[in-house]
Amino acid sequence: MRVVFMGSPEFAVPSLRALAARHEVALVVSQPDKPAGRGGQLTAPAVKAAAQELGLPVIQPRSARTGELRDAMVATGAELAVVVAYGKILPRPVLEALPRGCINVHGSLLPSYRGAAPVQWSVIHGDAETGVSIMQLDEGMDTGPVYLERRVAIDPDETAGELLERLAPIGAEALLEVIAAMAAGTARAVAQDHAAASHAAMLAKTDGAIDFGQPAAAVAARIRGVDPWPGAYATLRGQPVKLFQARAVTDPTPPGPPAPGTVLAIDAAGARIACGDGAVVIRELQAAGRKRLAAAQFAAGRGIAVGDVLGRPEPA
């Protein structure tokens, strides 16, 4: 089938590669290059880089609403558009530009977690299961009917970044299955139960601020869910510190009880931090401008010690 592919981040790359291996990708549409890193150097989206490697034509319109995108899609003569984390809301003229419309690979079991960050919020909320859904796009926010879903268990220590990486090829395989069914005339989409919908808003920098007054399970899930972006952080001795690889533990805590955020112990497993209920073990920490280190190494450099208190950063 002749298709147009629309996507931007690394999550979309396996779907693009799978499509290019089985179908004719007439055009790739991605977000414009953006500044990245400390130097602010313009950097291409992962999908653009992959498309160039595959020798596919790429456009990067700044808006989906000017008519430029629709006209470019129509000019390809493609039947179908595939959208995977493109990053822009598509208006009706774009959704209807091609005969079979647009289908989407979405990182949740719809109608749960409609929106920009479904995988991250699933981890933050401590879900045991998630998946990918292949749906027909309409003008709503991930409200279209679903062709196929694939369910996946979330590992207890898995970060959002690790889960995204694991889901991406699963979504690519499901996408190919749906396109094959469309070509055969056997694809059937089922309407979502809109009453059961939940929203997964785009993450903000402040979503990484850790409140150790919360239960340990919630604290650990938050640290994993905001990894790699915006990243979990707290204050330590009045300075910001980043936190990585957290797990809730049920070890007995000293009598007191200790104030939330108090460092109870540091060993090879990590730094054990008191929470509002229970404690978390944080395996790695990173001071501003320094390398990310195992907790024991961080303590050896006197960056942290038993009795220190990690605080919640004040909103900017």
Residue 43 pLDDT exceeds 80 = yes
Amino acid identity for residue 166 in this structure: R
In a domain, 277, yes or no: yes
Q: Burial of 81 by CB count in 10 Å (0-12 exposed, 13-18 middle, 19+ buried)?
A: buried
Same domain, 118 and 210: no
Same domain, 37 and 170: yes
In a domain, residue 136? The reply is yes
- Binned at pLDDT 50, 70 and 90, residue 84 comes out as very high
Reply yes or no on whether the pLDDT at 100 is more than 70.
yes
Note the pLDDT of residue 257: 76
- Give residue 3's pLDDT band: very low, low, confident or very high (50, 70, 90): very high
Q: Which helix (H) or strand (E) holds 151?
A: strand 146-153
Tell me what pLDDT residue 14 has.
98
* Among the listed residues 227, 232, 198, the one whose alpha carbon sits nearest the alpha carbon of residue 123: 227
Q: How many domains does the chain have?
A: 2
Does residue 47 form part of some domain?
Answer: yes
- pLDDT of 253 higher than 70: no
Pair 111, 33 in one domain: yes
Q: Which helix (H) or strand (E) holds 221?
A: helix 216-225
**pLDDT mean across residues, the chain:** 95
What pairs with residue 85 in β-bridges? Answer: none
Tell whether 72 and 180 lie within a shared domain: yes
Model confidence at 39, in pLDDT bands (50, 70, 90)?
A: confident
Looking at the structure, do residues 100 and 229 belong to the same domain, yes or no? no
What's the confidence (pLDDT) of residue 205?
Answer: 96
Mean pLDDT confidence for 170-180 = 98
Domain limits for position 228: 205-311
Give pTM, 2 decimals: 0.94
Instruction: Give yes or no: residues 91 and 227 share one domain.
Output: no
- Does 15 map to a domain? yes
What CATH number did the domain enclosing 234 receive? 3.10.25.10
Each residue's pLDDT tens digit, 114-163: 999 999 999 999 999 999 999 999 999 999 999 999 999 999 999 999 99
Residues 6+ apart with CB under 8 A from 228: 159, 160, 161
**255 and 286 assigned to the same domain:** yes
Question: How far is residue 146's CA from residue 161's CA, in Å, rounded to a whole number?
Answer: 25
Looking at the domain assignment, is residue 63 inside a domain? yes
Q: Is residue 252 over pLDDT 80?
A: no
